[in-house]
Amino acid sequence: MIRSKHLRESARGQECTLQIAGICNYQSETTVLAHLPSESHGMGLKADDISACFACSACHDVIDNRSSIRISNEDREFYMRRAQNRTLNIWVDMGLVTVKGAA
């Protein structure tokens, strides 16, 4: 299990990487590290911190089905995976995640 206080705290003040069209509030003060579904999670157990993205409160509520607004499963998957990739790239730029041999 990957848990990192540095990764979780890195979301503070960041731009939402989900940016769900018509949903995102673009308010970085509401951004948190949102855990995404992965094989490391289960009932009452969050996914690894690496399986996450920066999410504003509005996008996070939609992804976690806490909103009356619904998006298709295909759109949900697209936004989550795009956001995870964006977040990983930010972490690499911040030096929080390194990729051996990357230029």
Catalytic residues: 35
User: What SS3 state is found at 51?
Assistant: coil
Separation CA 55–CA 81 (nearest Å): 13
Annotate 58-76 with b (16+ C-beta within 10 A) or e (fewer). Answer: bbbbbbeeeeeeebeeeeb
Question: Hey, which residues does 53 pair with through a beta bridge?
Answer: 34
